[in-house]
Amino acid sequence: MTVNPTELMDELHIDQSPTELTTVTNLINEATEIVNHSVSSTETQYQASSIYDLAIKTLATQLYYDRELSKGMSAGLLMMLDQLQGMVSGSDPDGT
């Protein structure tokens, strides 16, 4: 896992009880799956980008506060996914 649950909890000022740690860990896992499937089913080079970790953190945070994503993904997250997709499609030649 590239995103550390306790670090994300610290950033969000969430109490690190065992229940909350389990919740945040599960949300990070779900966010990772969503980001990976949103970008590519076969390529993985984009996972080395700092944008990748930020996208996972952003989506996990959104899911923490709104499990249904009732307003959809944020514009910032969609831009990050576009950047990651660009790395896969080759529109970003240096891979960053």
Six-digit token pair at 61? 């945070």
The pTM for the full model equals 0.88
Mean pLDDT score, 49-63: 97
Residue 2: other Cβ atoms inside 10 A: 12
92 band by pLDDT with thresholds 50, 70 and 90:
very low
Q: Tell me: the pLDDT tens digits for 57-91?
A: 999 999 999 999 999 999 999 999 999 999 998 75
Mean pLDDT of the chain: 91
**DSSP state at residue 75:** H
Give me the numbers of helices (H) and strands (E) for the chain, helices first please: 4, 0
Q: Is the pLDDT of residue 53 over 50?
A: yes
- pLDDT, average across residues 38-67: 94
